[in-house]
Structure 1
Amino acid sequence: MRQEVAYIAYHFHWSYDQVMAMEHRERQQWVAEVAQINQRLNDQTNQLRK
């Protein structure tokens, strides 16, 4: 759970209390969304380097 909270708080600048107020499932969904955003950005960066 600490990794979920840290990941979400870091990327969205949400407070610990905001993240902890979510249900576990909702936190997992936000983690997945952030991961997808990061993947797209990494893919775009890699394409530009080619």
Structure 2
Amino acid sequence: MAFIAYHFHWSLDDVLALEHAERRRFCEHISRINKAMSAEDTRRGINLGE
């Protein structure tokens, strides 16, 4: 739940109001976005880990 709240800037109450399946879909969606952004950074030669 913190994963969703952090990325969407939602309150805990907003996240808790979602059905479990909705929370899973949001987590999967956020993960895909993060992976795509990471891959793009890698292609551009940006390394945020350093």
TM-score normalised over the length of structure 2: 0.89
- Residue segments in structure 1 that go unaligned for 5+ positions in a row: none
Note the residue ranges of structure 2 that are not aligned, 5 or more in a row.
Answer: none
Aligned length, in residue pairs: 46
After TM superposition, the score normalised by the length of structure 1 is 0.89
Q: Determine the C-alpha separation between the residues in 2 that align with 1:22 and 1:12.
A: 13
Deviation of residue 27 (structure 1)? 0.1
Question: What percent identity do the matched residue pairs reach?
Answer: 39
The structure with higher relative contact order (CA 8 Å, sep 6+) is 1
| Aligned counterparts of 2:18 and 2:45: Cα–Cα separation in 1 | 38
Distance (Å, rounded) in 2 between the aligned partners of 1:33 and 1:15: 18
Structure that is richer in helix per residue: 1
Instruction: Please provide the CA RMSD for this pair.
Output: 1.2
Structure 1 counterpart of 2:11: 15
